[in-house]
Structure 1
Amino acid sequence: MSLYPRNKAILALSDGTVVHGQAVGKQGITGGELCFNTSMIGYQEIFTDPSYYGQLMMMTYPHIGNYGTIPRDDEARRVMVAGAILRSFSWEYSNPMADRSLQEYFEDNELVGISGVDTRMLVRHIREKGVMNAVISSTELDEDKLVQMAKDWDDMKGLELATKVTREEAQTVKGDGDLKLAAIDYGIKQNIINNFAQRGCTLRIFPAKTPLEEIKEWDADGFFFSNGPGDPNATAEYAMETVEYAKSTGKPIFGICLGHQLMALSEGIGVEKMFVGHRGANHPVKNLKTGLVEISTQNHGFAVSEDKIAEDKAEITHINLNDGTIEGLEFKNFPGFSIQYHPEASPGPHDSAYLFDQFVELMQKHK
């Protein structure tokens, strides 16, 4: 007899697709936008990435949980995904550094999941039909009810979520240099903070809706706009005041992911919902200035529209070699640049570390 429960669970998609599997994590119901990640490792970093808030995460690599969890691998203070969809769940783990199994980790974070499903089939389905909402349930097992719940779930387009994951109060992280950086937290990952601090920057990390006067008082040498979840067009409704202020100072500005999109929107460059999105640790990106290719980690469902980039506003610096989408911009009306992918995740492992160096050098130049 198994030492672990094997309760039934159902995954129901908004288009009527239903698959059955086994419940993992907390017993219950959860829902959100169903997306997939192609990374072979790093499941804990993925589950705690604030940019995934409100989404059901399907891992394409079949074996998940085999090396347990360890506190230092968290990118945020808690699990951020709405639910997990897995092919083969490891109830036991082998890792002398780990302190918990993934099941215990899910239970501690009250995460509902499903395992034992054909993730390859589901990935092909999403790639053909596009991302859609879904529901995971291990308590309600009526298929028709669950499909209707998925249909009724809030759509990601138009959804503002950064305020759900930002910190409650400003925090200072000290570096050993003389540069002061104002970082706006729309869901900032811990490793981004680490990269700046390791380069000597002292960061003041501000909540997403911090009053402008408080940011001005910090008298920063540069501004950073972080990654985060939800529709950037909705986030821009309150974030644009801060972006415009940062531009008006003439000081260097850097944006990653959502921050990249907000900087583009501030220059009248459109940002649109993608059919599937990019999520994984193996996406090739070409630096158009150097001609070099970087292996990047990506996590976004929205992208900057190439046909809306005016020559007097920005220059395209990076493109995705899989589909040609925009991965980087250098702005012409203020000293700033932005990146759609995640250089702090280091899948290359060091292909994109130069971006942090480049920004620190830009701050030193303008100080």
Structure 2
Amino acid sequence: MERSLAERLERKLGLRTAELPDGMPWLYLAAAIFTTPVFSRNVFVLPAHLQTQAFVGNAMPFMAVPAAVHAVYRFVMPGVLRRARSSGQRLLAHVIVSAVTAALMGVILWSFTALLGWRRPPLSGALATDIVMTWAFVFPAKLVLAWRDRARAIDVERIKAEYASARNELYAIQSRAHPHFLFNAINTVASLIPEDPQRAEETLLRFADVLRYILETSTSASTPLARDVAILREYLEIQRARFERLHYSIEVEAGLDGVRTPPLLLLPLVENAVLHGVAAKGSGTVSVRIRQQAESLALDVEDDGPGQGGSSRQGSGIALRDLRRRLELLYGGAATVATDGHASLTKSGHAVKLRLPLGLPLDGQLFT
């Protein structure tokens, strides 16, 4: 349906609100100074005391009338606009309220200059000037505010769209990290059932704990480090049921248990270490070290396997690529991922080193 003229003006000028820019007094003062020669063309040839009268007399309406208009728009106009039922009524309210305010202040100022005995224009001319100048300030100011609000609304929508896109991408990355573990764990339990039912049951319980944790944290931005480390131990115990000659160590510096980190951040790295470092030769050691380095949290995952390119299992690199992208989405450029061709455990092996900034908030639900 085509909008009426009043509706179009209301939308473009932002007439639904009574807001006026806070920085306008400086504009009023500048206008008073620069328009004095326009209203008093011979001001510079007048005697000094008359020049003062001309500048002060011209400045008073420019300062007093806008001050009154701002006060009315702040304390009176919101109630007037709430009672208006249509765009036409709101437009009329702006026109009438600003004009009446300007006229009342014009009468007061005209009477004041009369008491001082200053030269002054006819009352009708003074009031007309005050009203027109008020409209010349108010409606352009409303237009500027409307443009600002529309630009702000566009920015908000853009930010919302970018956040939704990043959130969906992050959710996809987190979801992609878990299927490999689930399949491997199920296969491990299945292989143990005929050989060692007791161990199969224990492994199945561990698998249930890990699966429950994955579901609980699937929408979380962060989790306490202690919980993540506990689940990492459960995962490695599941893998040890599969690879009996697997050894592992997890070292966490004291005082870091409560630090919040993205959930299951190290699981893909540990899974890769087992797959390419341990499974390749049937035995091996996986080491996880977590400590504070200055203002960063250092998380290192190492194995003593054949090293990068030495495994018969050629990975696609998706896990590491997804990890980098996940950290980029969560921390921007503040987190880093580095890989070494060999670990500190031996001259072979492989190491992945994460550095996360401490102190950045990662609380709440990331996905809803």
TM-score range, shorter chain: under 0.3
Specify which structure has the higher proportion of strand: 1
Give the alignment's TM-score, normalised by structure 2. 0.22
Please report the TM-score for the alignment, with normalisation by the length of structure 1: 0.22
Q: With CA pairs under 8 Å and 6+ residues apart, which has the higher RCO, 1 or 2?
A: 1
Structure with greater helix share of residues? 2
